[in-house]
């Protein structure tokens, strides 16, 4: 069962009709509906292609948050072998909003870190909807330090609405934890590549995405604040999120132009949620390519180039 | 009364020369409601003499209170691209920036200067809450990078006074990118074995707290300053419960291990002086080295003209202290 977004209403009707027709045909084998069903399918796939070819920034936010979109664990399952999850910040707790561990990518051992949103009500609650607490960032720092010691590349997958704004999180130093994670990304003497697979929410995202190479899925978003948050502050009206989404320039396409990210990974027609397998393998190819481009760089070269990249950001604007 | 108060007294005129003279020369303390004469408040570095409440202070006044003789040299900050996203909400960003510049007479929300603290050459950067809520965008990032470069070039420690309502949303993702950029600035200072000290002032929130402001060798906070990542309102909306008294205030953070000391503004100069000397293995401060309470103009170190901009430090001029002059509405 497809999960439709509000702007996919006509598409839902069309696909629903085609589905109904097929159901009828199953009950009555005498009925010849193949032509009609084909016609409907064709119209639906055209509509899907057109819709996704010109998503507005707000629609992209909706797609990026789509519940059926593949999440970090789906990527881990398909892209890595010998997945060895590692837990805990060695200080306070294990944060289930952040997964991390060792794995083999193609032929090389790597460290994987990513936000995990969960896939059903139970796991979403357990994962705190991908909103990390300080322990998540501290675990990430610990794993990056390990990667640094053993010279293992780090792959981060970013998918979070933002760091968790909770009482305990603040008391235990959410700000400091994020700052240390960003700092560790910069200190790392091994390659680090990052893919924003869904939502890149503010400081909670940058703490993992301060990388040598950053890619975004075609309909992913990456922003300093959620459109709703921005609308309620600047427009004094959270309903203005469409305007805010457009003004924030949070799409992969705009971020590429701003040189904040290095590449956009094309999604299957209708978004990653329509064909998770294909989306995941495209991300895998991008990671392979990005890591390959960093091969042979020394620790010092990596760090210096990473630094330079961020220092130079902001020289290009958008019209 | 300490040395700072005595010394700052003659400089009242310059304190008010840069920004609009308030219509009403009496300021009501937000905390105790006491009516305070603006001059008295300025002498006390914008701290209420009656209840100790710390009000916002502009970077130039901070620098005057921080550096020996109130003398400092402002360091030019490379200007970023104007309005990189062509951002517009109900107002254009370019108009907001223009208004903020007009109101504050500053280019952006962070100023950088160098001078001496008890004879020790120091670079300082201070945020200006009056400039779009001290929000961090490219201008602030550039300022901190410049401050770090200057500290490295002069082999001097860096002290940052943080104050921020959040990110400069109008610069979108580029404001977020100031988190790594300012972190790089901290790294540059640390790599040279130089101290990076943060003074957290009211309020320090969001991306500023979650980047350079939490990466200091030492974290000092002003009393009762709000210091947080997510603001109390956002948290209350998320967890749907009332937060405890004093939550996210300086003293609360001290109890939770996030800062080293809470130090009132009037004592910061001396505490910083001592701290920097200890970290740099310099001999103790010698009080006799201090300029006299009424220093001669030549007591001020020569400003370096190459870097000086509009902040030619004025020697204290006796006519500035005339109360009736100060009292003109
Ligand atoms: Zn008071």
- DSSP code string of B139-188: HHHHHHHHHHHHHHHHT--EEEEEEESSB-GGGHHHHHTHHHHHHHHHHH
Here the tokens at position B49 are 């003499």
When divided into structural domains, chain A yields a total of 2
Coil/strand/helix, residue B59 = helix
Domain for residue A295, yes or no? yes
Residues of A in contact with B189 (CB under 8 A): none
Whether chain A has a CB inside 8 Å of the CB on B152: the answer is: no
Domain for residue A74, yes or no? yes
The phi-psi region of residue A251 (left if phi > 0; otherwise alpha if psi is between -120 and 50; otherwise beta) is: beta
Closest to B235 (Cβ–Cβ): which among A165, A230, A249?
Answer: A165
Confidence at residue B299, expressed as pLDDT on a 0 to 100 scale: 43
Confidence at residue B286, expressed as pLDDT on a 0 to 100 scale: 78
Residues of B in contact with A182 (CB under 8 A): 179-180, 183, 210-211
**Hey, which residues 150-189 in chain A have their CB within 8 Å of chain B?**
163-167, 169-176, 178-180, 182-183, 185-187
Q: Does residue A134 sit in the same domain as residue A236?
A: yes
Domain for residue A1, yes or no? no
Confidence at residue A27, expressed as pLDDT on a 0 to 100 scale: 81
Q: Does residue A275 sit in the same domain as residue A129?
A: yes
**Distance set, CA B293 to CA B9, B68, B296, B297 (Å):** 10, 11, 9, 12
Match 């604007």 to its residue by tokens. Answer: A317
Within B35-171, where are the H helices?
38-43, 59-66, 93-104, 138-154
Alpha carbon of B323 to ligand 1 centroid (Å): 22
Coil/strand/helix, residue A250 = coil
Residues of B in contact with A317 (CB under 8 A): 81, 83-86
Within chain A, where are the H helices?
9-27, 34-53, 57-64, 72-79, 121-126, 134-150, 167-171, 174-187, 202-209, 227-230, 241-248, 252-257, 276-292, 299-311
Alpha carbon of B230 to ligand 1 centroid (Å): 27
Q: Does residue A73 sit in the same domain as residue A202?
A: yes
| pLDDT band for position A164 (cuts 50, 70, 90) | very high
Closest to B173 (Cβ–Cβ): which among A169, A175, A255?
Answer: A255
Minimum Cα–Cα distance from A312: chain B residue? B181
Pair A311, B183: CB distance under 8 Å: no
pTM of the model: 0.89
Strands A154-160 and A192-201: parallel
CA B6, CA B29: separation in Å to the nearest integer? 22
DSSP type of residue B120: E
Q: Does residue A40 sit in the same domain as residue A143?
A: no
Sequence-separated (6 or more) residues with CB below 8 Å from residue A203 = A162, A163, A178, B176, B179, B206, B207, B210, B211, B229
Residues of B in contact with A242 (CB under 8 A): none
Q: Does residue A11 sit in the same domain as residue A157?
A: no
> How far B199 CA lies from chain A's nearest CA (Å)?
15
DSSP type of residue A261: S
Q: What percent of chain A has pLDDT over 90?
A: 90
Q: Does residue A18 sit in the same domain as residue A146?
A: no
What is B249-263 written as a DSSP string?
Answer: BHHHHHHTTS-SEE-
Domain for residue B190, yes or no? yes
Domain for residue B239, yes or no? yes
Match 């460290």 to its residue by tokens. Answer: A111
Confidence at residue B24, expressed as pLDDT on a 0 to 100 scale: 65
Angle between helix axes B178-191 and A174-187 (nearest 10 degrees) is: 70
Here the tokens at position B10 are 């003659």
CA A72, CA A132: separation in Å to the nearest integer? 14
pLDDT tens by residue, A6-64:
999 999 999 999 888 888 888 877 777 778 888 888 999 999 999 999 999 999 999 99
Q: Does residue A72 sit in the same domain as residue A31?
A: no
Confidence at residue A23, expressed as pLDDT on a 0 to 100 scale: 85
Pair B265, B46: CB distance under 8 Å: yes
CA A46, CA A104: separation in Å to the nearest integer? 39
Question: In degrees rounded to 5, what are phi and psi of residue A213?
Answer: -135, 135
Alpha carbon of B47 to ligand 1 centroid (Å): 8
Of the residues A37, A54, A71, the one at which a domain ends: A54
Confidence at residue B287, expressed as pLDDT on a 0 to 100 scale: 67
Q: Does residue A46 sit in the same domain as residue A176?
A: no
Q: Do B229 and A233 touch (CB under 8 A)?
A: no
Minimum Cα–Cα distance from A242: chain B residue? B89
Q: Does residue A271 sit in the same domain as residue A138?
A: yes
Domain for residue B284, yes or no? yes
- According to DSSP, the residues that pair with A115 across neighbouring strands are A98
Domain for residue A318, yes or no? no
Pair B235, B260: CB distance under 8 Å: no
pLDDT tens by residue, B73-102:
999 999 999 999 999 998 999 999 999 999
Strands A192-201 and A221-223: parallel
CATH code of the domain in which B206 resides: 3.90.226.10
Domain for residue B271, yes or no? yes
Q: Does residue A278 sit in the same domain as residue A192?
A: yes
Pair A199, A163: CB distance under 8 Å: no
For A281, counting Cβ atoms within 10 Å of its Cβ (0-12 exposed, 13-18 middle, 19+ buried), the class is middle
Q: Which residues of chain B fall below pLDDT 50? A: 1-18, 292-329
Alpha carbon of B48 to ligand 1 centroid (Å): 5
When divided into structural domains, chain B yields a total of 1
Domain for residue B272, yes or no? yes
Here the tokens at position A158 are 């970013």
pLDDT tens by residue, A244-293:
999 999 999 999 999 999 999 999 999 999 999 999 999 999 999 999 99
Q: Does residue A206 sit in the same domain as residue A288?
A: yes
Confidence at residue B15, expressed as pLDDT on a 0 to 100 scale: 46
Q: Which domain holds residue A41?
A: 6-54
Confidence at residue A34, expressed as pLDDT on a 0 to 100 scale: 78
Q: Which domain holds residue B124?
A: 57-311
The Cβ-side half-sphere exposure at B322, using a 13 Å CA radius, reads: 7
Q: Does residue A70 sit in the same domain as residue A49?
A: no
CA A247, CA A229: separation in Å to the nearest integer? 13
Domain for residue A87, yes or no? yes
Domain for residue A240, yes or no? yes
């Amino acid at each position: 069962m497809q999960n439709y977004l509000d702007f996919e209403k006509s598409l839902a009707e069309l696909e629903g009709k085609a589905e109904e027709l097929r159901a009828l045909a199953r009950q009555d084998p005498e009925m010849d509906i193949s032509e009609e069903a084909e016609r409907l399918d064709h119209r639906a796939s055209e509509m899907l292609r057109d819709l996704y070819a010109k998503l507005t920034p707000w629609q992209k936010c909706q797609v990026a948050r789509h519940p059926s979109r593949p999440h970090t664990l789906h990527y881990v399952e398909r892209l890595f072998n010998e997945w060895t999850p590692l837990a805990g910040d060695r200080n306070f707790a294990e944060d289930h909003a952040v997964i991390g561990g060792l794995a083999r990518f193609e032929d090389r051992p790597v460290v994987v870190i990513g936000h995990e949103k969960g896939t059903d009500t139970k796991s979403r609650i357990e994962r705190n909807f991908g909103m990390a607490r300080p322990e998540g960032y501290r675990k990430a720092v610990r794993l990056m330090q390990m990667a640094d010691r053993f010279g293992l590349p780090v792959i981060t997958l970013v998918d979070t609405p933002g760091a968790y704004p909770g009482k305990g999180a603040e008391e235990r130093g959410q700000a400091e934890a994020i700052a240390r994670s960003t700092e560790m990304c910069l200190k790392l003497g091994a390659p680090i590549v990052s893919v924003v697979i869904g939502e890149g929410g503010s400081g909670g995202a940058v703490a993992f995405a301060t990388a040598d190479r950053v890619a975004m899925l075609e309909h992913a978003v990456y922003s300093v604040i959620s459109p709703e948050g921005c609308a309620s502050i600047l427009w004094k009206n959270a309903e203005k999120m469409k305007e805010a989404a457009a003004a924030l320039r949070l799409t992969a396409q705009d971020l590429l132009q701003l040189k904040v990210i290095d590449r956009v990974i094309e999604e299957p027609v209708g978004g990653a949620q329509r064909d998770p397998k294909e989306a995941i393998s495209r991300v895998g190819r991008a990671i392979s390519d990005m890591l390959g481009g960093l091969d042979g760089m020394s620790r010092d070269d990596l760090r210096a180039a990473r630094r330079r990249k961020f220092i130079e950001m902001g020289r290009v604007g958008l019209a | 009364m300490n040395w700072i108060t005595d010394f700052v007294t003659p400089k009242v005129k310059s304190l008010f020369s840069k920004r609009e003279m308030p219509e009403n020369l009496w300021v009501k303390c937000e905390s105790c409601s006491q009516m305070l004469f603006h001059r008295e408040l300025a002498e006390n570095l914008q701290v209420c003499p009656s209840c100790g409440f710390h009000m916002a202070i502009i970077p130039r006044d901070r620098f005057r209170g921080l550096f020996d003789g109130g003398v400092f040299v402002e360091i030019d900050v490379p200007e970023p691209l104007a309005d990189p996203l062509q951002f517009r909400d109900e107002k254009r960003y370019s108009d907001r920036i223009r208004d903020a510049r007009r109101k504050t007479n500053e280019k952006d929300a962070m100023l950088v200067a160098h001078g001496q603290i008890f004879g020790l050459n120091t670079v300082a950067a201070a945020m200006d809450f009056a400039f779009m809520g001290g929000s961090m965008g490219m201008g602030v990032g550039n300022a901190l990078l410049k401050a770090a470069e200057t500290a490295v070039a002069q082999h001097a420690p860096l002290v940052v006074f943080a104050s921020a309502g959040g990110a400069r949303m109008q610069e979108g993702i580029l404001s977020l990118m100031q988190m790594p950029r300012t972190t790089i600035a901290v790294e540059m200072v640390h790599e040279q074995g130089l101290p990076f000290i943060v003074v957290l002032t009211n309020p320090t929130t969001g991306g500023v707290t979650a980047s350079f402001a939490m990466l200091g060798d030492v974290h000092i906070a002003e009393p009762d300053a709000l210091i947080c990542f997510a603001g109390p309102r956002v948290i209350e909306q998320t967890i749907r419960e009332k937060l405890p008294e004093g939550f996210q205030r300086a003293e609360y953070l001290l109890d939770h291990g996030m800062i080293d000391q809470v130090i009132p503004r009037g004592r910061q100069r001396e505490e910083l002086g001592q701290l920097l000397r200890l970290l740099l293995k310099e001999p103790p401060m010698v009080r006799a080295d201090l300029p006299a309470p009424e220093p001669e103009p030549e007591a001020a170190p020569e400003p370096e003209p190459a870097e000086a901009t509009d902040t030619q430090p004025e020697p204290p001029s006796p006519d500035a202290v005339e109360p009736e002059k100060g009292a003109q509405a």
